[in-house]
Chains A and B, each alone.
Chain A
Amino acid sequence: MKYKSQGIARAYFTVALLLFVLQVIVGLYLAFNYFFTVPQGVVDAFPFSTARAFHTNLLVLWMLLGFMGGAYFIVPEETEREIYSTKLAYIQLILLVGTGVAALVGFLFGWTQGRPLLEIPTLLDLFVVVGALMFLFNIGMTMITARKWTVIQGTLLGGLVFLAVMYLFGIPFYKNTSIDWYYWWWVIHLWVEGAWELITSAIMAFVLLKLTGVERKVVEKWLYVEIGLFLFTGIAGTGHHYYWLAAPRYWLWIGGIFSALEPVPIVLMVLDTWNHVRHRKLEIKNHLTFVYVVGCAVLHLAGAGVLGIVHTLPQINYYTHGSQVTVSHGHLAFFGAYALLNLTIFYFAFPQLKGIVRYDEKLGRICFWTMSLSMLGITLAFGVAGVIQSYVERVMGLGYMTAQGHMKLWMAIAFAFGLVFLVGVIVMVYDLLFMKPARQEA
């Protein structure tokens, strides 16, 4: 850690990790609901819908806190200057976490905007906006006063501003459901296949630059190409969500073609990551960070790229849209692209935040493989369930619950893998929070 204010990241990462654990626990409860009959009394008090709102909002909150912590860690090194206001950064954390807790408690009492992933009531949206403005102000002022601009920090700032602006489209009440969902995707899709990809690219580039010692010019060149392709395919690729919501028919073409290209930048990212790792010029201190970097790139491709493209063409999507196939894709995509990205920056930053040069990697390796393999198992089980659902319910037309009956076994298997995943996550959180120097050093 070169700058004192990078320490802010530690608080953000710690909260993010704890929320991640909570998210996974709620996820297990959701999976459980798919193969076990929860009695009416429990359903009345704590319905699946509330639990799902927990699961998805926790996901968004922990990942955004992770990104913000990542930004507080990266920006000082890029600008060679302390963060503009450390105090503001902590106030912002308290504000956002407080808003998150209020939202979750509110859900329990039915205080909701009732739109998936954007359930947070309008009043709390305002707090989120205030928190985001504090964050952007702090990061922006740091960069402005430093008067030093790099492509990495530009991409990071661009992604964060893009993220904040898109959130605004989710706040108003839309009378027409079709228009409502049209703009809902401006938040959700343009986040995960736009703004978040910019942040990912910037963080990956930063970590690779620091770890491998590859020339900045080379890293930044590929960064430009990647984000160019991400945005080219991602922005118009939003169209793959517009097939069945009563938008004009040409979206079938636009969505189909642009999203067929969406894996291209991810393939580029995998190749480029691998290339930089191979041509590294620095001595490796902690192998594990590379495991996370490469794992993130590969599972990003598998989850977002491959599983995305298999059901993005309209002819297939007609049968798989809104089924467990979507769930399968969603889980591996979020884990590969964004959970592992967060964990990459956590594993990169935590040793520095604690002043450890070389740490004991054993637990970190175990939990990486436990989480990754069990998530592949979860994805596979959801995928099989999704194919069964698409066929039985949509092709054969045998009814929703008939299909759910045939899917029970696979949902139970997903639950079992989920238990293993939870163990992996808990070990990982323990490993990060109580990281120890490697023995030879101690």
Chain B
Amino acid sequence: MSNRTAFWIFILGTASSALLFIFLTVDMHRQVDALTNADKLTDDVVAGKKVWEKYNCNDCHTLLGFGGYYAPDMTKVYKRRGEDGIRFIVKEPEKAFAKSWRKMPKQNLSDAEINSLIAFLKWVSEINNGDWPPQDSDKRIANSALKLTAGAGVNLGMALLQDKGCLSCHNYKGVGDEDVPLEKAGEKYDAETLKKLIHNPQSVNKDASMPPQDGLSDAELETIVNFLKSKN
């Protein structure tokens, strides 16, 4: 090979790749508004992005899988934790993670900032990003309780605890995230109180830090309560 050939390998290699890349970048700009629901990208969402950046959230958490790996991915957190969940954690991380072995800093955000942040996270959770991350994938989570039950012959109640995110804060026989065990709940409360507690925790215990769970159907609530009662 001559130096001239080598030179042309360099020129053509670089130019072809760069042209392809620039062409696809232009096309990305053409498509991105539809993929990211840019019509819903309100001033509040933008304000939320600024809050996200102001408190450097992204150096502990990932967003779209980018950033720090020290804390959970926030792409679909809105679906996982809901508005109340996010508000509680951001406002009082020292309570939310009191029993966790990993802490989140208390950054004293104003209520307005938290509202914008939630709007931002809601918007992010709805963009069309190829159903990532897998642990929060709608496609995989849909029917996963039934699949788990059918496939492994496990209890539907336990599968619901997993599926509805209860185990993001609670723990059942060593499964789940934080050290707030559910085993004792069935012993401590009767079925009606348990239902009330899940629906609106503060109505039973006014110091409860758990956000109200109003996304459960009556049948699901029934199954969970029966499960907690039956296992004692």
Interfacial residues, chain A to chain B (CB-CB below 8 A): 30, 33-34, 37-40, 43-44, 47-50, 52-53, 107, 110, 112-116, 119, 173, 175-179, 181-182, 184, 217, 220-222, 224-225, 227-229, 231-236, 238-239, 242-252, 254, 258, 318-319, 321-324, 326-327, 393-395, 397-402, 404-405
Contacts of A34 in B (CB 8 A): 70
Chain B: interface residue total (CB-CB under 8 A): 78
Judge whether B64 and A235 touch: CB under 8 Å: no
Contacts of B129 in A (CB 8 A): 178, 244-246
Query: Which residues of B1-47 have CB atoms within 8 Å of chain A's CB atoms?
Result: 1-3, 6-7, 9-14, 16-18, 20-21, 24-25, 27-29, 31-32, 35-36, 38, 41, 46
Given A52-B70, A177-B124, A243-B132, A115-B53 contact (CB < 8 Å): yes
- Give the one of A113, A243, A400 with max B CB within 10 A: A400
DSSP class of A's interface residues: helix, strand, loop or mixed? Answer: helix
Q: Is the CB of A400 within 8 A of B11?
A: no
Whether B56 and A112, one on each chain, are in contact in the complex, defined by CB atoms closer than 8 angstroms, is yes
Chain A interface: which of B133-141, B195-203, B214-222, B223-231? Answer: B133-141
CA distance A177 to B70 in the complex (A): 20
Question: A235 touching B59 by the CB < 8 A rule?
Answer: no
Residue of B nearest to A233 (CB): B17
Q: Say which residue of A37, A178, A244 sits within 8 Å of B102 (CB atoms).
A: A37
For the complex, give the distance between the alpha carbons of A227 and B28 in Å: 27
Q: What chain B residues lie within 8 Å of A236 (beta carbons)?
A: 17, 20-21, 24
Contacts of B140 in A (CB 8 A): 397
A33 to B133, CA, bound (A): 24
Partner-binding segment picked from B110-118, B174-182, B183-191, B204-212: B174-182
A245 touches B64 (CB 8 A): yes
The interface residues of chain A lying within 8 Å CB-to-CB of B18 are 231, 235
Closest to A242 in B: B28
Using a CB–CB cutoff of 8 Å, the interface residues on chain B facing chain A are 1-3, 6-7, 9-14, 16-18, 20-21, 24-25, 27-29, 31-32, 35-36, 38, 41, 46, 49-50, 52-60, 62-73, 94, 100-106, 124, 127-130, 132-135, 140-141, 144, 162, 167-168, 175-178
Q: How far is the CA of A232 from the CA of B32 in the complex (A)?
A: 25
Cα distance A250–B31 in the bound complex, in angstroms: 12
Q: Which 7 A-B pairs have the closest CB atoms?
A: A114-B53, A322-B65, A49-B59, A232-B13, A228-B10, A244-B132, A228-B13
Total CB contacts across the A-B interface at under 8 A: 231
Whether A176 contacts B36 in the complex (CB less than 8 A), given A49-B60, A232-B17, A401-B178, comes out as yes
Q: Which residue of B lies closest to A382 (CB)?
A: B69
Contact A397 B56 (CB under 8 A): no
* CB-based contact A400/B106 at 8 Å: no
Chain B residues with Cβ below 8 Å from A178 are: 32, 35-36, 64, 127, 129
- With A178-B64, A227-B10 already in contact, 15 other A-B pairs whose C-beta atoms are closer than 8 Å: A37-B101, A40-B103, A47-B105, A48-B71, A49-B70, A110-B55, A114-B55, A175-B41, A175-B49, A224-B7, A234-B17, A244-B129, A247-B31, A398-B175, A401-B177
Contact yes or no, B32 A400, CB < 8 A: no
In the complex, the answer to whether B56 meets A53 with C-beta atoms within 8 Å is yes
- Cα–Cα, bound, A244→B134 (Å): 11
- CB within 8 Å for A33 and B14 given contacts A116-B58, A254-B24: no
Q: Known: A114-B55, A235-B17, A250-B24. Is A175-B46 also a contact (CB below 8 A)? A: yes
In the assembly, what is the distance between CA of A326 and CA of B66, in Å? 10
Picked from B10, B31, B133, the residue with its CB within 8 Å of the CB of A248 is: B31
Of all chain A residues, the one with the shortest Cβ separation from B51 is A114
Measured between beta carbons, the chain A residues less than 8 angstroms from B64 are 177-178, 181, 244-246, 322
Q: Are B73 and A322 in contact (CB under 8 A)?
A: yes
Neighbouring B residues of A247 by C-beta, 8 Å = 28, 31-32, 35
Neighbouring A residues of B9 by C-beta, 8 Å: 224-225, 228-229
For the complex formed, measure the closest distance between the CB of A324 and the CB atoms of chain B, giving whole angstroms: 6
**Closest approach, in angstroms, between the C-beta of A78 and any C-beta of chain B?**
17
- Complex CA distance for A39 and B101, rounded to whole angstroms: 9
Residue of B nearest to A116 (CB): B67
- If A231-B13, A318-B134 touch, whether A238 touches B21 (CB-CB below 8 Å) is yes
Contact between chains at B68 and A48 (CB < 8 Å):
yes
Q: Can you name 16 A-B residue pairings with CB atoms under 8 Å?
A: A30-B70, A33-B102, A38-B103, A50-B59, A110-B56, A112-B54, A175-B49, A176-B32, A177-B49, A225-B9, A228-B12, A244-B64, A246-B64, A248-B24, A258-B17, A401-B102
A245 to B64, CA, bound (A): 6
Q: B residues within 8 A CB of A182?
A: 25, 28, 32
